[in-house]
């Protein structure tokens, strides 16, 4: 206990020293005076001391819990797992969520609807990347490239040929999937870090091409006046269009959850997980490595393409700046933070990561600091993600 106190004290002194130049000294360059804010040293030290104590306490608790799990034979499922695995609660829970999603636009403002639509788009992106990273274990840092392919295919096809949203939706998805296969064939021989670097490069290549090939993509100035999603040719007011886009996204999310859930428990899904766990053993079981990886890669890309089309239609303006590496990193954080391979986890991760910075706007410039701190704390206390994946169990009927 005493050593803990000492460590926290040292940490607080160290922090006071580190933050001294920015927190204490304030130079007024007009009057050429220096203001010494000594009270800030006290605030920093006290604050860090208590934070450090809290951190140590939580870490201790975590270790104790881990020790208990090792010794006990029965590992208990967390309450949230019990909730989502229970047949009736699961339905009730899902229905409640869906009801909330349906009444949401009637309760909240247009601004709220807008950020929720964005969050739902990231839910689908996260679920798509979850196939690639969470299930098949292929670290893809250039996922945003496929998103860009989808968005630009809608913008360009609409601009040149006047194709509508619903016509381009499948085309955008398929084009992104084709890009996925084209990239996948040479690249999927690589593993782990190497694959991550090559996909990162691919993402940047797509963005740079869009930025510099002016005749094709109109360069950095982007493409504007992209039509919003159509509803049987009915003219919608701006507010209605936003609400309509929101409902479309809700439908997309539901459909995606449905399909990803089925994929996960299928023959293909099992092959992906086996591939993630051990490539050599997986091949020795007769699974074609390349084919299985390619399918994962192109399916993930397909979803990114679809959401790309949706993104272009929602914002009505796109330019290459929307498809930077930061987007890929964001989607990857959603998957990792939420829990790799877990659908509920990814949904929760997307909602937290996209909505939190919005609601933290009141903290203004500190919001990214708080966001970063939340991520670090998350990785320390729950490295497996918010909600880890639990494999399906089968009941075998012996009397058949």
Partner 1 sequence: MYVVHTALTKTSRMSKKILEVKNLTMDFGGVRALGGVDLDVKGGEIVALIGPNGAGKTTFFNCVTGIYYPTKGDILLHTPGRQKPKSLKGLKPNQVTVAGLARTFQNIRLFSQMTVLENVMIGRHCRTKAFIFGALFRTKSTRQEEKEIIDYSYSILEKVGLADLANEYSKNLPYGAQRRLEIARALATDPLLLLLDEPAAGMNPQETNELVTLIQNISSGGQSILLIEHDMKLVMTLSERIFVMDYGRKIAQGTPDEIRNNQEVIKAYLGEELDA
Task: List residues binding partner 1 (CB under 8 A).
Answer: 259, 262-263, 266-271, 273-274, 276-278, 280-289, 295, 299, 389, 391-394, 396, 400
Nearer to partner 1, 151 or 307 (CB): 307
Residue 278 CB, shortest distance to partner 1, in Å, is: 5
Which residues are CB-contacts of 95 (< 8 A; sequence separation ≥ 6)?
none
Task: Answer for the pair 144, 331: CB distance below 8 angstroms, yes or no.
Answer: yes
Residue 172 CB, shortest distance to partner 1, in Å, is: 19
Q: Give the whole-angstrom CA distance, residue 297 versus residue 155.
A: 24
Nearer to partner 1, 32 or 267 (CB): 267
Residue 261 CB, shortest distance to partner 1, in Å, is: 10
3-state helix, strand, coil in the chain (%, to 5): 75, 0, 20
User: Which tokens go with 269?
Assistant: 């899904």
Which residues are CB-contacts of 309 (< 8 A; sequence separation ≥ 6)?
150, 151, 153, 154, 165, 168, 169, 172, 173
Residue 289 CB, shortest distance to partner 1, in Å, is: 7
Q: Give the whole-angstrom CA distance, residue 303 versus residue 321.
A: 21
Residue 197 CB, shortest distance to partner 1, in Å, is: 25
Nearer to partner 1, 102 or 281 (CB): 281
Nearer to partner 1, 333 or 388 (CB): 388
Task: Return the number of other C-beta atoms located less than 10 Å from residue 210's C-beta.
Answer: 26
Instruction: From 276, 383, 303, select the one nearest 337 (Cα to Cα).
Output: 383
Residue 85 CB, shortest distance to partner 1, in Å, is: 12
Backbone angles phi, psi at 29, to 5 degrees: -75, -15
Nearer to partner 1, 55 or 259 (CB): 259
Q: Give the whole-angstrom CA distance, residue 212 versus residue 163.
A: 25
Nearer to partner 1, 2 or 75 (CB): 75
């Amino acid at each position: 206990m005493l050593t803990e106190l000492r460590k926290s004290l040292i940490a607080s002194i160290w922090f006071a020293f580190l933050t001294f130049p920015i927190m204490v000294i304030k130079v007024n360059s007009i009057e050429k005076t220096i203001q010494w804010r000594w009270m800030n040293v006290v605030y920093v030290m006290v604050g860090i001391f208590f934070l450090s104590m809290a951190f140590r306490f939580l870490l201790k608790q975590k270790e104790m819990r881990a020790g208990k799990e090792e010794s006990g034979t029965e590992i208990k499922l967390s309450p949230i797992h019990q909730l989502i695995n229970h047949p009736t609660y699961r339905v009730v829970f899902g229905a409640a969520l869906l009801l909330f999603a349906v009444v949401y636009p009637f309760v909240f403002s247009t601004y709220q609807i807008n950020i929720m639509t964005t969050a739902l788009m990231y839910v689908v992106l996260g679920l798509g990347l979850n196939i690639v990273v969470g299930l098949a274990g292929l670290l893809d840092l250039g996922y945003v490239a496929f998103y860009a392919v989808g968005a630009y295919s809608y913008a360009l096809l609409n601009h040149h040929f006047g194709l509508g949203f619903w016509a381009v939706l499948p085309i955008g998805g398929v084009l992104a999937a084709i890009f996925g296969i084209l990239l996948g064939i040479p690249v999927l021989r690589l593993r782990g870090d190497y694959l991550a670097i090559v996909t990162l490069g691919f993402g940047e290549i797509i963005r740079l091409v869009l930025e510099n090939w002016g005749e094709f993509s109109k360069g950095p100035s982007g493409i504007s006046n992209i039509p919003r999603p159509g509803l049987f040719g009915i003219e919608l007011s701006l507010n209605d269009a936003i609400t309509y886009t929101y409902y479309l996204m809700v439908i997309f999310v539901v459909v995606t959850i449905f399909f990803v859930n089925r994929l996960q428990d299928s023959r293909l899904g099992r092959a992906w997980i086996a591939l993630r766990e051990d490539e050599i053993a997986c091949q020795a079981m007769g699974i074609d490595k390349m084919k299985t990886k390619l399918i994962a890669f192109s399916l993930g890309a397909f979803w990114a393409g679809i959401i790309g089309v949706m993104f272009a239609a929602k914002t009505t303006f796109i330019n290459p700046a929307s498809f930077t590496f930061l987007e890929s990193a964001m989607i990857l954080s959603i998957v990792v933070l939420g829990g790799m391979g877990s659908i509920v986890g990814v949904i929760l991760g997307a909602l937290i990561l996209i909505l939190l910075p919005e609601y933290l706007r009141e903290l203004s410039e500190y919001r990214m600091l708080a966001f970063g701190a939340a991520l670090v704390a998350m990785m320390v206390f729950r490295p497996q993600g918010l909600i880890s994946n639990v494999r399906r169990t089968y009941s075998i009927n012996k009397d058949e």
